[in-house]
Amino acid sequence: MSQGKSQKVSIRILDKEYVVGCPDGAEAELFASAEYLDTKMREIRDTGKLLGLDRIAVMAALNMSHELLQNKAQQSELIESRIQRLGSKIDQSLAKLEKGQPEDHSS
């Protein structure tokens, strides 16, 4: 969220209301984030293993951080794979040019 004009926005998480600052135009992102957090916290609370809002919040934060790191790792793997494929195509094209063969632009 960018800095600039902001406003106070009310969100609900686990039936508790919070008023937070939100940059103009970012309300939909804030509401989506709050809804996601609320869902994760409810899932943890409903297991019945943790008591206390602070423990539920910490576990939700840890779970969400884990998801984020896994997603970043998967994206890095995809990018690395694409770079390797592009490098291979470049190598093949250069090899063809060195042999005097025309390039195949169909891929």
Q: What's the pLDDT tens digit per position in 79-92?
A: 999 999 999 999 99
Q: What band does 14 get if pLDDT is binned at 50, 70 and 90? A: very high
CATH number, domain with residue 34: 3.30.160.880
Residue 45 lies in a domain: yes
Residue 15 lies in a domain: yes
Residue 73 lies in a domain: yes
Predicted local distance difference test score (pLDDT) of residue 28: 96
* pTM of the entire predicted model: 0.68
Domain carrying residue 62: 6-98
Residue 39 lies in a domain: yes
Residue 71 lies in a domain: yes
Determine the Cα–Cα distance for residues 48 and 5; give it in Å rounded to an integer: 41
Q: What band does 12 get if pLDDT is binned at 50, 70 and 90? A: very high
Residue 104 lies in a domain: no
Is 101 a residue whose pLDDT tops 70?
A: no
The number of folded domains in the chain is 1
Tens of pLDDT along 47-75? 987 778 899 999 999 999 999 999 999 99
